[in-house]
Amino acid sequence: MRVVLQRVSQASVSVDGEIIGEIGKGLLALVGVGHGDTEDDAKWLANKTIGLRIFQDNENKMNRSLVDVDGSILVISQFTLLGDCRKGRRPAFTDAAPPELARQLYRRYAQFISDQGVNTQLGKFAADMKVSLVNDGPVTMILD
């Protein structure tokens, strides 16, 4: 699994012109699932996500986690994170998991976070989504 985290002051996702998820301060998580990924990977990444100290403390140091700042998370499935661009000009997506597995692990990742008391909003799996965000910092991290 690969997760791209962006610290945001606000973010939303819409499908067919209707907002289906939105948050204020927190994280936008773009989640890609690959072949061989497991529920253990989803749980490890969820714990890393909520514990990562990338929010500023009173001394303007990145020393606080999502839980520490009572932040929210917007989780978006994004199989293109597994795109291989090394050859040619068209990405290959052979490393991406089949949709059934990807949907299951994407949801488990979000559920593990929600189970820790974090307000968790979701996009719509396999939909054409429009994601809006205000990147705070900017701060962007990649977790594998």
Residues taking part in catalysis: 78-80
Residues 6+ apart with CB under 8 A from 80: 32, 91, 93
What is the residue-wise DSSP string for 81-131? GG-B-SSSSS-B-TTBPPHHHHHHHHHHHHHHHHTTT-EEEE--TTS-EEE
Contact 42, 105 (CB under 8 A): yes
Strands 119-122 and 72-77: parallel
Query: What does the DSSP 8-state code read for residue 34?
Result: B
